[in-house]
Structure 1
Amino acid sequence: MTFENLAAWGRCLCAVCPTPTTIVTSGTSTVVCVWELSMTKGRPRGLRLQQALYGHTQAVTCLAASVTFSLLVSGSQDCTCILWDLDHLTHVIRLPAHREGISAITISDVSGTIVSCAGAHLSLWNVNGQPLASITTAWGPEGSITCCCLMEGPAWDTSQTIITGSQDGMVRVWRTEDVKMSVPEQPTREEPLTQPPSPRGHKWEKNLALSRELDVSLALTGKPSKTSSAVTALAVSRNQTKLLVGDEKGRIFCWSADG
Structure 2
Amino acid sequence: MSLSPGDRSSAELPDGDRPTPQVVIEPDADRLARAVAEALVARLAAAQAVHGSASVVLTGGGMGAAVLEHVAGLVAEPVREVVDWQQVDFWWGDERFVPADSDDRNERHARAALLDRLDLPGFRVHAMAASGGDLATPEEAAEDYLAELREYAAAGRDLPRFDVLLLGMGPEGHVASIFPDSPAVRDDRPVLAVRDCPKPPPTRVSLGFAAINAAEEVWLVVSGAEKAPAVARALAGAPAEEIPAAGVQGTRATRWLLDAAAAGELPRAAG
| TM-score relative to the length of structure 2 | 0.27
- If each structure's strand is expressed as a fraction of its own residues, which one has the higher value? 1
Larger radius of gyration: 1
Relative to the length of structure 1, the TM-score reads 0.28
